[in-house]
Chain A
């Protein structure tokens, strides 16, 4: 019987990945996700796995591409500037329909930015990020427990839909420790007839590729891929509702912003304001139906973000702009306080927004 242990979020990701059967990790040092790579460097050699510190983020993601093409579970992790560098490889992975996990423990930007927590890679993560039409499955943990659980989920969904997945965390989630019940070892084997294993002279050659010089062929791969994305949107949306049943003000927040917002919602309730929290766990696919439903009975939304306002666009789209959406944000590594969120809740409740 396993028991709860105290772990940093970054370490919980690493251990959960190993338990999900990931034996290949490639990365490049960057704050604030270094504990993840350090954990892998320590553990992988002892379990017959591969930890490799690559010469660059670009090399790391292409090593991921190589392992993914053989059908094995593989991951890389980085923080915002490093994830920008990986975008080329992520586009290729998406274009070649390979499963892989990319972890982004976000920090403030743009440019070299800072090293404090941020959520300003929301657009990059949820809208594609690199060139071409594609999506990643993007999961946003809001606790160390979810850092572990959603890592396993990322691998599962990536295999299921043959697409890259991203765990989108931030500096606080990576650095904080909380009790965590680690997931069981996974022994799931997924059939991957497309994988490069060598033909063994028993089948035709497999080709992993994203190049289609005939536009009608390339168009078809795009349409086919988006059919698959539709399945993901229909089947895999995850979110948490907190005090939403009778809510008049709907706070939407993910990750660390959701943790802060929960305090604010509790405080608002104490003051007699019917506030609730809708926490997207999948950022792509976005829980649009839940937002739309909330728009039916709420006066308005508060989008709490560690950015200049990115998710707010998805809230406006999902709610068809039926009611006001107030942005409650900090940027550059700052985190909104519960008081700031409460202020925004009051604005919506009082019809001031």
Chain B
């Protein structure tokens, strides 16, 4: 009896992520959702620049690699060209909330019928741990060696709250993957974000509060604890916008 197996939508290759990194969990959740909805054959994914840059090698569906921050624009083009396909982006915080903020906000306000998986781990991982737009006040990074000083570096951007203030987007939810309960919740949210697209309901973004033990300088367990103690209080979990149940939508 098979009790656990790799989702079909995930390629049978070793992932390059660091030990304890939660990208692997989120990749799996996305692939499970694709499997369960039977959309692998119609899915087209957009990989970001960041740690998930090589996501195109990990998902079994058709994939494109976008320039830094441009994934929502690339996804817009694909969806406009292929409305019958299921189009998703997978982006980190630097990609989505810093260099790509304009593309993010405008895809949301147009209510593009796409699905965005947004990994918020409060740091630039691939380039070696620089301050991200979502780094917490006081957080020590390579480019905020004395801690993020909000007087000079500003405050973290709460992406879900920000996007929820727009009339456009259909569904915005923040989840986390630091414990079993939260992982299950995240799975539900990600699946719903794909279902929304299948039903033509428009823009769905799932912000996943994640960990980066390597660049946070912690063990994987310490990192998960830090998510619980520091990240989630600053980035409360929950549904921030849901137009999908509204009449006539």
Contacts and interface: CB of A to CB of B under 8 A. Distances in A.
A adjacent to B, CB under 8 Å: yes
Interface of A: 24, 26, 50, 52, 54-56, 58-60, 62-70, 72, 74, 88-89, 92, 96, 196-202, 205-211
A309 B216 CA distance: 53
Interface stretch (B73-81, B165-173, B189-197): B73-81
Contacts of B43: 198
B64 interface: yes
A26 B106 CA distance: 14
A207 B63 contact: yes
A21 to B, nearest CB: 13
A74, A199, A208: which has the most chain B beta carbons within 10 Å?
Answer: A208
A52 B112 CA distance: 12
Contacts of A199: 40-41, 60-62
Given A63-B73, A198-B43, A205 B62 contact: yes
Interface of B: 11, 40-44, 46, 53-54, 56-57, 59-67, 70, 73-82, 85, 102-103, 105-106
Contacts of B76: 52, 59, 63, 66
19 contacts: A52-B76, A52-B80, A54-B73, A59-B76, A62-B66, A63-B80, A65-B66, A65-B77, A66-B77, A66-B79, A69-B78, A196-B44, A198-B42, A198-B44, A199-B40, A200-B42, A202-B41, A208-B64, A209-B65
B56 A66 contact: no
Nearest to B38: A201
A56 B40 contact: no
Contacts of A201: 40-41
B86 to A, nearest CB: 8
B40, B56, B60, B65: which has the most chain A beta carbons within 10 Å?
Answer: B65
A65 B75 CA distance: 9
B56 A209 contact: yes
B63 A62 contact: no
Q: Ordered nearest first, which 9 A-B pairs have the shortest CB separation?
A: A66-B77, A62-B73, A63-B77, A55-B106, A62-B70, A66-B74, A201-B41, A196-B62, A209-B65
Contacts of A67: 77-78, 80-81
A261 B36 CA distance: 67
A24 B80 contact: yes
A69 B82 CA distance: 11
Contacts of B102: 55-56, 58-59
Contacts of B53: 211
B13 to A, nearest CB: 12
A208 B65 CA distance: 6
B80 A198 contact: no
Contact of B85 (A63, A197, A210): A197
Contacts of B82: 70, 196-198
A66 B42 CA distance: 16
Contacts of A64: 77
B62 A197 contact: yes
Given A58-B73, A58-B103, A205-B60, 20 more contacts: A24-B80, A24-B81, A54-B73, A55-B102, A58-B70, A64-B77, A65-B64, A65-B67, A65-B70, A72-B81, A74-B77, A89-B70, A96-B64, A197-B82, A198-B42, A199-B60, A207-B57, A207-B64, A209-B65, A211-B53
A306 to B, nearest CB: 31
A205 B73 contact: no
B35 to A, nearest CB: 11
B85 A198 contact: yes
B103 A207 contact: no
B78 A59 contact: no
Contacts of B105: 55
B6 to A, nearest CB: 15
B73 A59 contact: yes
B70 A59 contact: yes
Contacts of A198: 41-44, 61-62, 82, 85
Contacts of B103: 55, 58-59, 62
Given A55-B103, A59-B102, A62-B103, A92 B59 contact: no
Contacts of A69: 64, 74, 77-78
Contacts of A62: 66-67, 70, 73-74, 77, 103
A340 B61 CA distance: 60
